Structure 1
Amino acid sequence: MNARQWTAQWIWGGTEESPRNEWRCFRKVFELPEEVLEEAWLHIAADSRYVLYVNGEQVGRGPVRSWREEQFYDSYEVGHLLQAGESNVIAVHVLHFGVTNFYYIRGRGGLLAELEYGVKSAGGTAVESNLMMRVGSDDTWVTSRLQAQNPNSPRMSCQQGFADIYDARQWDERWVTVKYREDGPDSTWEPSQVIGPPGVDPWKRLVPRDIPFLTEEKIYPSRLMSLRRVQAPAWSAVLDLRAAMMPDSVFHANPVSFVGYLAGELVLKEAGQVTFGFPAGWRTENMWVDGRLCSDWYGESPERYCTLELTAGEHFVLIDVTSWDHGGGFHLAAHAEVPMEWRSPAGEGTQPDGPPLVIIGPFDAAVHIDHQDPQPMKRDHPEYLKAAGATKFKELQDLAGWIRPLPASLYSEEDVFGANVWTVEAEPYSIPSQLEHAILPIPEPGVLPLFDNGASDCEIVVDVGRETSGFIGFEVEAEAGTVIDVYGFEYMRDDYRQHTYGLDNTIRYVCRQGRQRYLSPVRRGFRYMVLTVRKAAAPVKLHELYVNQSTYPVTNTGAFQCSDPLLNEIWNISRHTTRLCMEDTFVDCPSYEQVFWVGDSRNEALVNYYVFGSLDIVKRCLNLVPGSKDMSPLYIDQVPSGWSSVIPNWTFFWSIACLEYVEHTNDKDFAVKIWPAVQYTLEHYLQKLNGDGLLDMRGWNLLDWAPIDQPNEGIVTHQNLLLVLALNKAAELARIAGEETEVIERMLRAGEILSLAINAHLWEERQQAYLDCIHADGRRSDIFSMQTQVLAYLTAVATGERKEIIGEYLLKPKATFVQIGSPFMSFFYYEALVDAGRYDQMLNDIRHNYGQMLRYDATTCWEMYPNFSENRANPDQLTRSHCHAWSAAPGYFLGQGILGVKRADPGWTRVLIEPQPCDLDWARGSVPLPQGGRIDVSWSVDGDIMNVRVAAPSSIELEVRVPDGMREQVTLVGNG
């Protein structure tokens, strides 16, 4: 398949090459001969994503994320879905983003599809392979924009694409079937437009998918949490201010900053009280109504609300939206008990049905490649200052050159997220027993109550039972025009819901008449679902509510159990976290971002080796990283992405992970292939050493979500330490790759010189510790952190007496040191403790920190520890993301350290079994092997005797070591 020859053409439709958030459908009806079909393969690629159907059956989704110049395509065996001697149809639903994000770089809309099949004659003679028949995409395929989808739906987040707003009255769901007619009187179907053959820009090279297809397994909710009568604010809207202020920002995912305003006119039919709300957070405190500055703001962060008494008539509203903006939706709402209407203050000349808001500015704007700068805006522009506090729009006539309509494509009043966050009325009801049927897979539906004859909305909250990632689906019976809103979030406790601020994790579905189904094509991560029925003329029957969970295909080859039930549950949530963060790459989390963060994936790979043993996903991730070399020779920190951001440590973790993969698999061919990319970036880092021999650079110099001193410019100790480790590991990778001795020695020498420089310049004798950094102005940091000390120990830069001192800090951290703030950093802490032989300390830390998560009903591992750093603004918010694979350390350390299964030679040809019982009575488990199969280990302690049983393939050499002072009873068993 690697060298396959395509006859198909790239095709598209409509009037725009790269429309914003367009769902487009393609169909090809074709006849098959009556001869018996041999196997048939359908090869497909699309920009940006697709859902493929053959004769009405969903075949698959894709493609996997790609660099634009190297587009992956998928291949499906579809012979079982084709009908010989009859008409058949290929139908493809393409979702084109039209904007760059953190996992997609804007190209243009496109579909490439080709069916190839062979037949047998009536006598049974197979057709020659070079006479294979083909049905390829070209101008005989027809296409239509999917009319039910609203392209003005909000961005889910700066990292992702778009939420879905879908009006089922506008589309015939039978379009994927062969009997569907494309030529009705109101048909929107037209011939597809040919872009060009494979190799046409921007998809310069086609390569076959390099990992298995993802799973799609139906998950039903476990319980119904609540029923409420609710009411949304009278008006709410969501805007893409980033794209409105800086239209070219759709071509990149870098943060931008701008200085400017939004303005609108609010008309009240009678005097009354009006509350203005920013349900997802505000930009500034500067909002004026008729020149009156709103000052009495209230609401829990980040929500803000202000209530004013207004007279009947017109009121000019001016909002300062000056901000730093990475993307996503800006939510604005207003509520009054008296009739009100928004309209554009510009009056004549505006679009009659256009947004009722105008943009003023930007008076200053900039694009930022580095991580966020809190002071990028210049607020001294005279026209900007002149506009502040205007009482009427006509006072701004001198600024006519700065005023323009808000583009309709960037505005929507279908604000599901805002309506969920701000409920102006919420009355709880007891849950009737029949409503429980709504979440059960039984024929009898649950009936959602109708409140106030549909004037109020009906809301239910369901618990899926544990965190999940996939595609939300439901089946309802309703009157036409009934609105079904779905919102997914991760955590609730008692009356508290942790809203996904910064993530519009929502669906709005407008019903056609009768019984109908909907399966969102947009991936989402969550645990809880809020389903709200709005504008219902009759009670809605909910027949089914589910999630098609979709992850990288794994089996539970790895296992761990011990005498401590708490550790068993911690291992289980670590495994589940890792699985949910395995998509077409490792991702940081299934909800907020779904992004392949390069540094995160190093730890995720190690956990995966022990709980699942999957290899293709690791290799794919490692191979994707050098694709960013045209953006930065230092390689960017999330790929493939349009954000040109560099975290040096993430590149170092990637280079280390390359060696760890080679050592795990003994894949020397991979070492040969990847070594030049590792050498390329590390040599560019060495060019950034200063006169003292220290890495001194501008970047996002991150290690942990904690208040350590890690400025974006200057000498940061922890990344100097990690560069030492990366150089030493690179030398070993070079040796395996067969590199010349001179190159290997150059890497080792560079690491040695850097280590000497760190000890000469970054050790603080009075504190007996390594300081966090030296700022760009030469100021030595007065902050000392456990993070820096842990890495000094782990990288072996600290030697002799200094290593002994740091070793004591591992066991008894100084109270004056910044403490570890995330489970990600704990991974390196545990590595250091293992190196020091302090398994008991590691177990106690795991029990304490992960036990906190379980106390709050966690089913996955959290991004941060409770109430740390950015969580402190809200004591109920325990962490931002409740499912983060960089946090799944116990999945690795309980198997590697406590069970004691360790690779002794590359490729696991020799294995060391070295149990560490600590305070446990027994443990048992399994570790997958890269060559297939597994090692099963069980041990128990009886006084000073340790009984150890090991089952492993006979080809593996085993060595068993028990702790000092214990006697061993070992049983070795072959398992294949």
Structure 2
Amino acid sequence: MPSYSIIENFEVHKNNRFLEIAEALKPELLHKEIKAEKEIMVGKDRQMRTVITEEHPIENLYAKSLKRDDTVFVDFGDHAVGYVTLELSKTGSHQDAPVYFYLKFGERLEEMTDKTADYDGWLSRGWIQEEYIHVDVLPAKVKLPRRYSFRYMELRVIDTSAKFQLKIDGISCDTVSAVDMESVKPVDFGDPLLNQIDLVSRKTLKECMQDVFEDGPKRDRRMWLGDLRLQARANYYTFKNYDLAKRCMYIFAGLLFNEGKLSACVFTEPEMEPDDTYLLDYALFFSSVLLDYYEATGDLETLRDLYDVAIDQIRIAMTQLNEKNVVEDLGDAFWCFLDWGDGLNKQAGATAVLIYCIRYGIRLTKILDKQEDISWLEEKQAMLKEAAVKEFWDEALGMFVSGPDRQASWATQIWMILARVFDKETNCKLIHHVMEVNPRIRMVTPYMYHHYIDALIRCDEKELALEEMKRYWGEMIRDGADTFWELYNPYNREESPYGSSMVNSYCHAWSCTPTYFLRKFYMDNEK
């Protein structure tokens, strides 16, 4: 189901001082050239899954002469984000016509066999990474102007002429990121799979750390507040690039819109501009992002600067309660995220997120000794917890329910646990009951699985959390992930919220948090 927002009478209220602070923190990106590693042949196995059927040294490709309808596939050996250069020449007679070829880039192997003509999703097909190129004069060095996010590349010769053939002499990529993988010391967690999960998590995060914390370098290539919260947490235990986190907070706070609301996401080009999308849960998370940053840095000046923006998001959310003192259910409108689960009702989960973020707000107010705000927030927290139990708890089911159909979902239970509506002992019983019952509305994104792992750890189920991490993120690795994906449903590996997995992101920020959990909770020097 399409999910987007268009706000009528949308107005942006810029705080130029905040935006100037953000601009001063803009990173100088690090560049590293990598070269294509192998020529590969691609086909289907008996289960109709895309596989590599042959592989050869890249020199094998460079020795070939390519004519009309020839297709070759290249493997760079690992995920890359950057700018591709092709060194081309010709064999045969003098070039008497332009060479015309097609390029396609893929983050996973399956994208090499996807048929773009079959795309029927509701997101723009412009997100599919492909190019049609004419080269009038050979030899030539063709530098592609677009940044690509990929591991695999297809080149199909559409035409040359009968008198000459195309020759490839080199393929390279100028990769870019705000950080370097070598700056983070690997940790041995005593399990090869956990070590690999940690590595892939860090690689995912690194690829998304550009001028800002992007959600995905293939798509959407912008900054979402919900993703930022998880990226920043992982960053504090790995790359420790505090300036990038600070920059992103000031960008969001410097681009408020109607009623002082925070946008769910910000476009970064040609200039910083907020999307006209408001998501209740994402806006509320600003208090969490701010406290996480303060605890990592001790930067009291930034806390003072951005405090009002954080608390205002709670005030705004409080205006969206109904007469029962829970968040008003806006149905299928794109008003709260939680997860991409099909049919997921958001009312109870949104109420739980509000309670959760009030707890962060209280901690912010105590640091700054804002006594009036402390009293108000504590009063609202108690009121909301009482209302949540009264309105959403179903004693017969032993779970929280949501919406007019009293839907029980994984997301609702997890957020109620994280909101601490019940005490820890009751929450522990609830999480085990949910695992036993396995509600039909399951989790489908690493974003929601992050909160599931968090809930298990908060219920003192660290070993179970570790096993679930290995099961979910480990299965992604077994399915070929070099970086972790935007969406991974083990029950339906090709699931997409956009109508087609061709535009799914296979390097996505919100999936990078196993490294945060592993380094925070499973190291000897645990914090």
TM-score, with length taken from structure 2: 0.83
Paired letter, 1:898: Y
2:374 aligned with 1:744, yes or no? Answer: yes
For structure 1, the residue ranges without an aligned partner over 5 or more in a row are: 1-66, 73-203, 229-299, 301-427, 440-444, 451-455, 904-976
Matched-pair identity in %? 21
2:295 aligned with 1:663, yes or no? Answer: yes
CA contact (8 A) 2:257 2:263 kept: no
Match of residue 222, structure 2, among 595, 612, 616: 595
2:402 aligned with 1:767, yes or no? Answer: no
Q: Which residue of structure 2 lines up, in the alignment, with residue 720 of structure 1?
A: 351
CA contact (8 A) 2:34 2:172 kept: yes
* Aligned pairs (5 A) from 1:200-215: 208-215=23-30
Q: Which residue of structure 1 lines up, in the alignment, with residue 5 of structure 2?
A: none
* Aligned pairs (5 A) from 1:859-870: 859-866=482-489
Q: Deviations over 1:925-962 (max 9, x none)?
A: xxxxxxxxxxxxxxxxxxxxxxxxxxxxxxxxxxxxxx
Q: Which residue of structure 2 lines up, in the alignment, with residue 488 of structure 1?
A: 105
Question: Per the alignment, do residues 656 and 508 of structure 1 end up closer, same or farther by CA in structure 2, a change over 3 Å counting?
Answer: same
CA contact (8 A) 1:598 1:651 kept: yes
CA–CA separation in structure 1 for the residues paired with 2:223 and 2:216: 9
Paired letter, 1:684: I
CA contact (8 A) 1:688 1:697 kept: no
* Aligned pairs (5 A) from 1:452-851: 456-478=68-90, 479=95, 480-492=97-109, 496-497=113-114, 502=125, 503-537=127-161, 538-554=164-180, 555-631=182-258, 633-640=260-267, 641=273, 643-696=275-328, 698=330, 699-707=334-342, 709-710=344-345, 716-736=347-367, 738-771=368-401, 773-774=402-403, 779=404, 781-799=405-423, 802-809=426-433, 812-851=435-474
Question: Per the alignment, do residues 498 and 746 of structure 1 end up closer, same or farther by CA in structure 2, a change over 3 Å counting?
Answer: farther
CA–CA separation in structure 1 for the residues paired with 2:158 and 2:427: 64
CA contact (8 A) 1:708 1:785 kept: no
Q: Deviations over 1:88-142 (max 9, x none)?
A: xxxxxxxxxxxxxxxxxxxxxxxxxxxxxxxxxxxxxxxxxxxxxxxxxxxxxxx
2:249 match: secondary structure: helix
Paired letter, 2:384: L
CA contact (8 A) 2:284 2:310 kept: no
CA contact (8 A) 1:227 1:459 kept: no
CA contact (8 A) 1:212 1:553 kept: no
- What is the Cα deviation at residue 796 of structure 1? 0.7
Give the length in aligned residue pairs: 484
Question: Per the alignment, do residues 517 and 746 of structure 1 end up closer, same or farther by CA in structure 2, a change over 3 Å counting?
Answer: same
Paired letter, 1:757: A
CA contact (8 A) 1:472 1:548 kept: yes
Paired letter, 2:417: Y
- What is the Cα deviation at residue 447 of structure 1? 3.1
Question: Per the alignment, do residues 869 and 670 of structure 1 end up closer, same or farther by CA in structure 2, a change over 3 Å counting?
Answer: farther
CA contact (8 A) 1:471 1:519 kept: yes
Paired letter, 2:306: I
CA–CA separation in structure 2 for the residues paired with 1:740 and 1:69: 26
CA contact (8 A) 1:438 1:544 kept: no
CA–CA separation in structure 2 for the residues paired with 1:469 and 1:804: 41
Q: Which residue of structure 2 lines up, in the alignment, with residue 449 of structure 1?
A: 66
Q: Which has the higher contact order (CA 8 A, sep 6+)?
A: 2
Q: Which residue of structure 1 lines up, in the alignment, with residue 505 of structure 2?
A: 881
- What is the Cα deviation at residue 707 of structure 1? 3.2
CA–CA separation in structure 1 for the residues paired with 2:431 and 2:443: 16
Paired letter, 2:88: V
Question: Per the alignment, do residues 889 and 813 of structure 1 end up closer, same or farther by CA in structure 2, a change over 3 Å counting?
Answer: farther
- What is the Cα deviation at residue 901 of structure 1? 3.7
CA–CA separation in structure 2 for the residues paired with 1:520 and 1:68: 37
CA–CA separation in structure 2 for the residues paired with 1:594 and 1:606: 20
- What is the Cα deviation at residue 498 of structure 1? 7.9
Q: Deviations over 1:33-91 (max 9, x none)?
A: xxxxxxxxxxxxxxxxxxxxxxxxxxxxxxxxxx996899xxxxxxxxxxxxxxxxxxx
CA–CA separation in structure 2 for the residues paired with 1:508 and 1:68: 41
CA–CA separation in structure 2 for the residues paired with 1:801 and 1:547: 53
CA contact (8 A) 1:606 1:892 kept: yes
1:629 match: secondary structure: strand
2:429 match: secondary structure: helix
CA–CA separation in structure 2 for the residues paired with 1:742 and 1:430: 69
For structure 2, the residue ranges without an aligned partner over 5 or more in a row are: 1-11, 268-272
Paired letter, 1:217: K
1:695 match: secondary structure: coil
CA contact (8 A) 2:281 2:338 kept: yes
Question: Per the alignment, do residues 498 and 836 of structure 1 end up closer, same or farther by CA in structure 2, a change over 3 Å counting?
Answer: farther
Q: Deviations over 1:422-465 (max 9, x none)?
A: xxxxxx9998x7x83277xxxxx433322xxxxx3221111111
Question: Per the alignment, do residues 800 and 572 of structure 1 end up closer, same or farther by CA in structure 2, a change over 3 Å counting?
Answer: closer
Question: Per the alignment, do residues 524 and 619 of structure 1 end up closer, same or farther by CA in structure 2, a change over 3 Å counting?
Answer: same
Compare CA radii of gyration and give the structure with the larger one.
1
- What is the Cα deviation at residue 476 of structure 1? 0.8
Paired letter, 1:680: D
- What is the Cα deviation at residue 508 of structure 1? 2.8
Paired letter, 1:809: H
2:63 aligned with 1:437, yes or no? Answer: no
**Greater helix share, structure number:** 2
CA–CA separation in structure 1 for the residues paired with 2:369 and 2:153: 54
Paired letter, 1:742: E
Q: Which residue of structure 1 lines up, in the alignment, with residue 270 of structure 2?
A: none
CA–CA separation in structure 1 for the residues paired with 2:170 and 2:16: 37
CA–CA separation in structure 2 for the residues paired with 1:863 and 1:615: 24
Question: Per the alignment, do residues 504 and 822 of structure 1 end up closer, same or farther by CA in structure 2, a change over 3 Å counting?
Answer: closer
Paired letter, 1:603: L
2:47 aligned with 1:221, yes or no? Answer: no
CA contact (8 A) 2:72 2:155 kept: yes
